[in-house]
Amino acid sequence: MSRPVPAALLPWLDALRCPHCAEPVELAGRTLHCPRWHAFDLARAGYAPLLAGASPTSGDDDDMARARDSFLATGAYAPLREAIAQLAPGDFRRVLDIGCGTGYYLAGLLAQREDAHGLGVDTSVRALRFAARAHARAAAASWDVFSRFPLADASTDLVLDVFAPRNPEEFARVLTPGGHLLVVRPAADHLEQLRAAVPGMVGVDPRKEERLHEALDPVFTTVSSTPVRFVASLDAPAARDLVAMTPSARHVGEQEVRALPSGTSEVTVSVVASLHRRR
């Protein structure tokens, strides 16, 4: 028996575009196709595969995706998810989550907006297995954030970017006039205790804020910038999962991770969340 089409994808069909020719797509059975018959079969896990060309090598591998799902399930980052939901503007109907991972933050937003629909996108098909079932109104798709998005102009009201790469020109193109971008990135002291315990972890670029504004200012106006800071109590498995779900996982050896304290650790979560309006 054929699997049903994910209901969360249906509200986005009019906005989706072929990643090869930018033509509108239609759904036939479980296949998306454009008038030129570029075709994309929905994955068994429920996401739409809209990557054009070779798959990017970035994105979570299977171990990272599982570590992310396991860590976020502890609730340690719940204050961050709640802060994102509070900072988002209240008038969006469609939200596009860039680098959505397992869909954790998108699900938090949709839980606060009963009439909104979400689309989480990522290059990691491993993470998208989780994102496709993160929320009843959250669809999932794979595409490359550095390429032209397979979405129509002015087709979404809010772009969410949490610890993810950015493509300001494409963000602006797919946003409705006056639409918003919500960016969350690490502050200098983010996870400072873990970084001290595991020297191989990737540090925070000291020019991160400067680079962000250089990229966004030509197409966006900054509405607000809010620091979000709290202390999370992590047991040893959670601390290991936190290291393993970040880009640091590619640079840190197993012995370094095992050297983490065996008991509960207090870890500072420190980020900056900024809201930007499309010019």
The pLDDT-based confidence of 160 (bands split at 50, 70, 90) is very high
**Cα separation, 230 vs 80, whole angstroms:** 9
Read off the pLDDT of residues 197-255 as tens digits, 9 standing for 90 and up.
888 888 888 999 999 999 999 999 999 999 999 999 999 999 999 998 888 777 676 66
Question: Which pLDDT belongs to residue 27?
Answer: 96
Q: Which residue has the higher pLDDT, 127 or 257?
A: 127
Q: Among residues 249, 270, 122, which one has the least CA distance to residue 204?
A: 270
Provide mean pLDDT across the span 98-111.
Answer: 97
Question: Which pLDDT belongs to residue 263?
Answer: 77
Provide mean pLDDT across the span 92-119.
Answer: 97
Tokens at 166, concatenated: 């950015």
Question: Which pLDDT belongs to residue 3?
Answer: 82
10 Å Cβ neighbour count for 189?
13
Q: Which residue has the higher pLDDT, 54 or 92?
A: 92
Read off the pLDDT of residues 106-150 as tens digits, 9 standing for 90 and up.
999 999 999 999 999 999 999 999 999 999 999 999 999 999 999
Q: What's the CA dihedral at 16, 118, 64, 167 to 10 degrees?
A: 60
Provide mean pLDDT across the span 250-272.
Answer: 79
Question: Which pLDDT belongs to residue 81?
Answer: 98
Question: Which pLDDT belongs to residue 197?
Answer: 86
For residue 37, is it left (φ>0), alpha (ψ between -120 and 50) or beta? left
Question: Which pLDDT belongs to residue 97?
Answer: 98
Tokens at 271, concatenated: 């980020």
Partners of 183 in the beta sheet?
Answer: 161, 274
Residue 91 clears pLDDT 70, i.e. is over it: yes
Question: Which pLDDT belongs to residue 255?
Answer: 66
Alpha carbon separation from 153 to 92, 97, 241, 242, 277 (Å, rounded) = 16, 16, 38, 36, 16
Walk me through the domains of the chain, giving residue ranges and CATH numbers.
Answer: 57-278 (3.40.50.150)
The pLDDT-based confidence of 259 (bands split at 50, 70, 90) is low
- Report the relative pairing of strands 31-33 and 26-28 from DSSP bridges: antiparallel
How many helices (H) and strands (E) would you count in the chain?
9, 11
Read off the pLDDT of residues 32-83 as tens digits, 9 standing for 90 and up.
999 999 999 999 999 999 998 766 656 788 999 999 999 999 999 999 999 9
